[in-house]
Amino acid sequence: MSVELAEIRDFVAPLPPFSLLDAATLDALPKQLAVRYLRRGSDFPPADEAPALYLVRKGAIERRDAHGSLVDMLAEGDVFAAPCLGGDGSDRCTAVEDTLVYLLPCPALQALRRAQPAFDAHFAQSTAERLRHARRGTAFGADETAADPLAQPVGAFAARTPVAAPPTLSIREAAQRMSEARVSALMIVDGERLAGIVTDRDLRRRCLAAGLSPEAPVTAIMSAPVASIGPESPAFEALLAMTRLGIHHLPLVDAGGVRGLVSSTDLLRRQGTATVHLARRVRRCASPAALTAAAGELPELQLRLAAAGAGAAQVGQALTAIYDAVSCRLIELAEGELGPPPVPYAWAACGSQGRHEQTVHSDQDNALVVHDDYRPEAHGAWFAALAQRVNDGLDACGVRYCPGRVMASNAEWRQPQRAWCDYFAAWIGQADQRAAMLAANFLDLRVIRGDPALLAPVHATVVRECAQHELFLARMTANALANRPPLGFFRNFLLEHGGAHVDAFDIKRGGLLPISDLARVHALAAGRAEIGTLARLHAVAGGPTLSAEGAQELAEAFEFLGGLRLRHQSAQLRRGETPDNLIAPAALSALERAELKAAFAAIGRQQAVLAQRYAVGREV
Partner 1 sequence: MIRHLAGELRRRWLLARAPAGPRRDFLAVPWPRSGLPCAAAGYLALDLETTGGDPARHEIVSLGWVCVDGPRIDLGSARHRIVCLAGAISAESATVHAITDDEAAAGVPLEEALRELLAALAGRVLIAHYARTELGFVDAACRRLLGGGIAIPAVDTLDLALRRLARLRQTAAPGSLRLGALRRHYNLPRYPAHNALSDALAAAELFLAQLADASPPPRLADWLA
| Interacting residues toward partner 1 by CB under 8 A | 4-8, 30-39, 42, 46, 48-49, 57-59, 97-100
Of the CA atoms within 13 Å of residue 144, those in its CB half-sphere come to 22
Q: Fill in the amino acid letter for 176.
A: Q
Judged by CB, which is closer to partner 1: 35, or 471? 35
Residue 396: exposure state from Cβ atoms within 10 A (0-12, 13-18, ≥19): middle
Q: How far apart are CA 544 and CA 571, in angstroms?
A: 41
Judged by CB, which is closer to partner 1: 6, or 456? 6
Q: How far apart are CA 523 and CA 538, in angstroms?
A: 10
Judged by CB, which is closer to partner 1: 44, or 600? 44
What is each CA distance from 423 to 165, 348, 426, 429, 476, in whole angstroms?
Answer: 53, 16, 5, 10, 16
Judged by CB, which is closer to partner 1: 36, or 446? 36
Judged by CB, which is closer to partner 1: 48, or 377? 48
Residue 2: CB minimum distance to partner 1, A:
9
List CB contacts of 140: < 8 A, sequence separation 6 or more: 134, 309, 563, 567
What letter would DSSP give residue 105? E
Residue 558: CB minimum distance to partner 1, A:
38
DSSP string, 244-273: HHT-SEEEEEETTEEEEEEEHHHHHHHS-H
Residue 501: CB minimum distance to partner 1, A:
18
Residue 14: CB minimum distance to partner 1, A:
15
Residue 490: CB minimum distance to partner 1, A:
16
Residue 56: CB minimum distance to partner 1, A:
11
Judged by CB, which is closer to partner 1: 46, or 153? 46
CB 559 within 8 A of CB 311: yes
Residue 99: CB minimum distance to partner 1, A:
7
Residue 11: CB minimum distance to partner 1, A:
8
Q: How far apart are CA 492 and CA 480, in angstroms?
A: 28
Q: How far apart are CA 177 and CA 165, in angstroms?
A: 8
Residue 10: CB minimum distance to partner 1, A:
9
Judged by CB, which is closer to partner 1: 105, or 234? 105
CB 165 within 8 A of CB 195: no
Hey, CA dihedral for 233, 235, 236, 238, is it positive or negative? Answer: positive
Do the bridges between strand 79-80 and strand 52-58 make them parallel or antiparallel, or are there none, so unpaired?
Answer: antiparallel
Judged by CB, which is closer to partner 1: 21, or 539? 21
Residue 94: CB minimum distance to partner 1, A:
14
Judged by CB, which is closer to partner 1: 1, or 615? 1
Residue 103: CB minimum distance to partner 1, A:
8
What is each CA distance from 142 to 137, 255, 380, 518, in whole angstroms?
Answer: 7, 33, 53, 30
Residue 32: CB minimum distance to partner 1, A:
7
Residue 115: CB minimum distance to partner 1, A:
18
CB 38 within 8 A of CB 77: no
Judged by CB, which is closer to partner 1: 58, or 269? 58
Cβ-count burial 147-169 (b if 16+ within 10 Å, e if not): ebbbbbbbbebbeeebbbbebeb
Judged by CB, which is closer to partner 1: 33, or 596? 33
Peptide bond into 225 cis (omega under 30): yes
Judged by CB, which is closer to partner 1: 29, or 250? 29
Judged by CB, which is closer to partner 1: 38, or 187? 38
Hey, CA dihedral for 421, 427, 430, 434, is it positive or negative? Answer: positive
Residue 354: exposure state from Cβ atoms within 10 A (0-12, 13-18, ≥19): buried
Hey, CA dihedral for 382, 384, 388, 390, is it positive or negative? Answer: positive
DSSP helix, strand, coil percent of the chain (3-state; round to 5): 50, 15, 30
Q: How far apart are CA 130 and CA 121, in angstroms?
A: 8
Residue 594: CB minimum distance to partner 1, A:
21
List CB contacts of 513: < 8 A, sequence separation 6 or more: 483
Judged by CB, which is closer to partner 1: 34, or 425? 34
Q: Can you tell me whether residue 372 is helix, strand or coil?
A: coil
